[in-house]
Amino acid sequence: MFAEYIGAPVEAGDFESDVWERCAPVTIAHLWSGAPAPVERQAEARTCWSDKALHVRFVCNQHEPLVVSAEPQTERKTLGLWDRDVCEIFVAPDPTTPERYFEFEAAPTGEWVDLGIVLTPEGRKTDWEYRSGMKAAASVCERGTKIGITIPWSDSIPKPSRGDLWLINLFRCVGPEAPDRYLAWRPTHAPEPAFHVPEAFGPLRFN
């Protein structure tokens, strides 16, 4: 996957900006297991970067009722967001240590969550208090959902240089029933639904 450099930042909710036409899409078209996902649940994702942030846009097919909170709040992170409809990007800025990565999610309600993750031989350690300063936005129409995520550069997510290579994965959770609600750009092929598999992360090259 490639992230195109843009001269000025694009807002998380600016889904129709011309900059997205310059960004090559990838398709989230498989279940976590590698099996094909129904077209009605598939999504595409595009990324770009500016001097301020990493920008991600998801465009999702939506042919069923949304699974979302009846009382969404967007002023603080929503833990447990992954139990409802959501789009996610996992980012490992240092490809030599993919076991240290960051999780960003946004829902069709505009709710969001950001987490710092480290995988160790003893298990997964999660920084529940991690604060990235991310922004999220969403737009819902009759047959589609758009999700925008902006991740500002910071000590944990440092601004890249042209040509840099990071590792990422992209996910979508959609619908009420497991296990078929778990979609991945790069399937993790875990025995049970699981996204936290750095070995499955794919390249993100900064152009």
Span 181-198, pLDDT tens digits: 999 999 999 999 999 999
Domain boundaries, the chain: 2-206
The rounded distance, in Å, linking the Cα atoms of 186 and 199 is: 10
The DSSP bridge partners found for residue 100 are: 118
pLDDT at 7 over 90: no
Out of 3.40.50.920, 2.60.40.1190, 1.20.1250.20, 2.40.160.40, which CATH number does the structure's domain 2-206 have?
A: 2.60.40.1190
Is 0.95 surpassed by the pTM of this model? yes
The rounded distance, in Å, linking the Cα atoms of 192 and 153 is: 34
Q: What is the per-residue pLDDT for 178?
A: 85
Q: What is the per-residue pLDDT for 194?
A: 95
- Residue 204 CA, distance from chain mean position: 13
Considering the chain, what is the average pLDDT of its residues? 97
Task: Tell me the pLDDT band of 75, cut-offs 50, 70 and 90.
Answer: very high
Give, as one character, the DSSP assignment of residue 199. Answer: G
Return the biggest CA–CA distance within the chain. 46
